[in-house]
Amino acid sequence: MKKYSVAVVGVGAVGCEMLRVLRQRKFPIKNLRVFARSSRNITVDGITYHVKQISPGGFRGIDIALFAGTEGEKGAAVTYANEAIIRGAIVIDNGADFRMNKDVPLVVPEINPKDIKKHKGVIANPNCSTIQMVVALWPIYKKAGIKRIIISSYQAASGAGRGAVRQLIDELRFLSKSNYQDLKIKQKYQKALPQQLAFNVFPQIGVFGELDYTSEEWKTVRETHKIMHDDKIKISATTVRVPIRTGHGEAIYIETAKRITPDAVREIFEKAPGIKVIDNPKESSYPAPIDAEGKDEVFVGRIRKDPFVKNGLWMWVVSDNLRKGAALNAIQIAELLIKK
């Protein structure tokens, strides 16, 4: 079997999960280089990786560069993706910097694997909350069409990176010291998030923009249109941060073009790739983030019809945001690339 030289850029929440998934899926690696802003050794699942300080020359000889660095102007992908490409690598980027560019395919392998053929050096991985939603909705879309989606997501701290998880843990430690007398923290922590997360939820992920929706909410809309190649679907989202370490939950309401029953949806899901149905409400059996952490599937439950709208359906969708929402999806794209 041919082996490949692979670079992982970033060793935060997603980068470490990348290292774990590469090993678990036995990706055929000839050479592995790990980059971040500074060099040091890190340990993931008992294995020590030497992290090198990122530099353009570091990408020499790399076939596939998996980017999981911070987004934005001074972020890893904007600064170094092109350096990797001119040295012969194909970049798979986890951030939002290139996702909506016309010549950058935005790929979820269960949905639009053929789009990777159109790449010109960069393939983008969609946003975590978008990936799990489209994996669940695609089989229904193919069978019955979808005209409308209303989604409320309940997103874990790790979706905002390792700093947000640290903030949640620090807040919980602080509150435990006072035996939870006063649940509002007045003391200032290093803030990775815009609000206290312990014993709290808040409806802000990203920054507020057009029509008072947040950037995360717009990602759900625009990325879904691009991945499903259908910008006629009416989508609106509310994204909420919740005090969970890993695993996003989503309450999703859809209106289908053709009528479809909850039982028919369950049957479609049984055959759909990457989906596991847990739907026995009478036994309190439904997906929960704590059970999804570390797993690959998108879990679906609470499938039920709208009592008033003929083609309306609800479902509850949970997945590990660091795996299918980021590292796993990116590595599945890499697997598709090498298969071709």
Ligand X SMILES: NC(=O)c1ccc[n+]([C@@H]2O[C@H](COP(=O)([O-])OP(=O)(O)OC[C@H]3O[C@@H](n4cnc5c(N)ncnc54)[C@H](OP(=O)(O)O)[C@@H]3O)[C@@H](O)[C@H]2O)c1
Task: Pick the piece of the chain touching ligand X (CB under 6 A) from 34-42, 143-151, 231-239, 291-299.
Answer: 34-42
Strand, helix or coil at 241?
strand
Q: What CA–CA distance (Å, rounded) separates 314 from 24?
A: 34
Sheet of 90-93: strand order equals: 40-44, 47-53, 29-36, 4-9, 64-67, 90-93, 122-124
Closest-CA residue to 290 (of 251, 242, 239, 245): 245
Any idea what DSSP says for residue 243? Answer: S
Sign of the dihedral defined by the CA atoms of residues 256, 259, 263, 269, in that order: negative
Q: What CA–CA distance (Å, rounded) separates 312 from 259?
A: 9
Pick the closer one to ligand X by CB: 277 or 322: 322
Known catalytic residue: 225? no
Q: Is 181 buried (19+), middle (13-18) or exposed (0-12) by CB count in 10 A?
A: exposed
Among 3, 30, 31, 37, binds ligand X (CB under 6 A): 37
Q: Residue 69 CB: number of other CB atoms within 10 A?
A: 26
Known catalytic residue: 248? yes
Pick the closer one to ligand X by CB: 97 or 279: 97
Least CB distance to ligand X at residue 75 (A)? 5
Least CB distance to ligand X at residue 102 (A)? 20
Least CB distance to ligand X at residue 29 (A)? 20
Q: Which of residues 248-287 bind ligand X (CB under 6 A)?
A: none
- For residue 123, state whether it binds ligand X (rule: CB under 6 A): no
Closest-CA residue to 333 (of 59, 71, 104): 104
Measured from each CB, the residue nearest to ligand X is 12
- For residue 132, state whether it binds ligand X (rule: CB under 6 A): no
Task: Pick the piece of the chain touching ligand X (CB under 6 A) from 5-13, 216-224, 265-273, 275-283.
Answer: 5-13
Among 88, 113, 121, 163, binds ligand X (CB under 6 A): 163
Task: Pick the piece of the chain touching ligand X (CB under 6 A) from 9-17, 84-92, 200-208, 299-307.
Answer: 9-17
Angle at 254 between CA 257 and CA 313, to 5 degrees: 95
Among 6, 8, 9, 92, binds ligand X (CB under 6 A): 9
Give me the residue label for tokens 């294995």: 47
- For residue 69, state whether it binds ligand X (rule: CB under 6 A): yes
Phi, psi of 224 (to 5 degrees): -65, -45
Task: Pick the piece of the chain touching ligand X (CB under 6 A) from 103-111, 156-164, 232-240, 262-270.
Answer: 156-164
Among 106, 128, 254, 337, binds ligand X (CB under 6 A): 128
| Interface contacts to ligand X, rule CB under 6 A | 9-15, 35-38, 54, 68-71, 75-76, 79, 94-95, 127-128, 158-159, 161-163, 321-322, 325-326
Active site residues: 128, 248
